[in-house]
Amino acid sequence: MNLLIIGGTRFLGRHLVNAATAYGDTVTLFNRGKSNPHLFPELDQLIGDRDGDLEVLSGRKWDAVIDTCGYVPRVVRVSAEFLREAVGRYVYISSISVYSDEAKVGINEDDETGILADPDIEDINESSYGPLKAACEAEVQRVYGQRGLVIRPGLIVGAYDPTDRFTYWPWRVAQGGRMLVPESPEWLTQIIDVRDLADWILDIAHRGVGGIFNAVGPENPISFGTLLAACQKVSGSSPDKVWMDAEFLTNHNVKPWSDLPLWLPGEASAGMSHISNRKAVAAGLHFRSLEDTIGDTLAWAASRPDKYEFHAGLKLEREAELLREWQQHQAGAGAGAGA
């Protein structure tokens, strides 16, 4: 397959390149040449800006394009229309953040997506990100119909993840010592290894599949206790886990998802850890072991500079402060109960 990838040098994009070359595909990259421009010197790389500078794509044809970095509907619209006659299939990487009811358990591809209050807004923030991605999906579907393939991943994890939202936990477990963990071992989460996602996207693109798919893993949500146990097994570390309740964490300004990645407390966000992946699994999505994902993530994290600062998770000093305050809180609660 002759493939065009918009992006291709950061996280999912670079794994898509690896998957495509493993397939024997011919790969062309189109990007601004700013993120990791040293990667893939053997590939055909076209430098331009999808927001107003697409001419470098003129006169070329590809079997499919994979759009890894479309966030604004106006820009996606221009790309989709410009490539209408140049590609056989348009694969758009969206997000499970498109769904409007994050409380629903078992969200599937037919559930409602968010709508922009102002259709012309282009400011990307916590509230607009999902509706913007949904509007981008609509542009692809309008132009391509069944030639369009929309992938809605959950939290993508693995080597080269710039967010650290998963990496924090294997790394923190490996450090050992007293370790702050939220609520209880029973709360659930979902992740998908970037390699599984990339391999599957290439597979269904080769098979000419169209439509919309949630891409989350593993096959069933995993408990946080299971995740931490797997991290311990892979790292060989046995931290002293201190489970703190949601009320204490909230009262001490600990932010879900950023300060404590993966943690989404409360019923309002329950659906984000219970997304249905049945359609994707039926279309061939499968998952490697959790231990494999953790091991690869840890190996990559160890290759980064010693003074690397994580983009998510508690800093060790802040964690130690919270552990002290929790101990005082528990002591006070015990004294009150005995009064």
Annotate 313-328 with DSSP letters as a single string.
S--HHHHHHHHHHHHH
User: What residue type is 221 in one-letter code?
Assistant: P
Cβ-in-10-Å burial (0-12, 13-18, 19+) of 308 comes to exposed
**Are 194 and 12 spatial neighbours (Cβ–Cβ below 8 Å)?**
yes
Closest listed residue to residue 132, CA positions, set 152, 149, 144, 114: 114
DSSP for 160-202 reads T-SS-TTTHHHHHHHH-SEEEEES-TT-EE--EEHHHHHHHHH
**Are 148 and 141 spatial neighbours (Cβ–Cβ below 8 Å)?**
yes
**Are 279 and 216 spatial neighbours (Cβ–Cβ below 8 Å)?**
no
Report the half-sphere exposure of 21 (CA within 13 A, side-chain side). 13
Gap between the Cα atoms of 176 and 235, Å rounded? 10
pLDDT given at position 152: 98
Domain 2-153, second-level architecture: 3-Layer(aba) Sandwich (3.40)
The CATH classification number of 168-189+221-272+290-338 equals 3.90.25
pLDDT tens-digit map of 33-51:
999 999 999 999 999 999 9
Instruction: Determine the 3-state secondary structure of 300 from DSSP.
Output: helix
pLDDT tens-digit map of 129-185:
999 999 999 999 999 999 999 999 999 999 999 999 999 999 999 999 999 999 999
Closest listed residue to residue 239, CA positions, set 338, 295, 319: 319
Residue 338: pLDDT over 90: no
Domain ranges across the chain:
2-153, 168-189+221-272+290-338
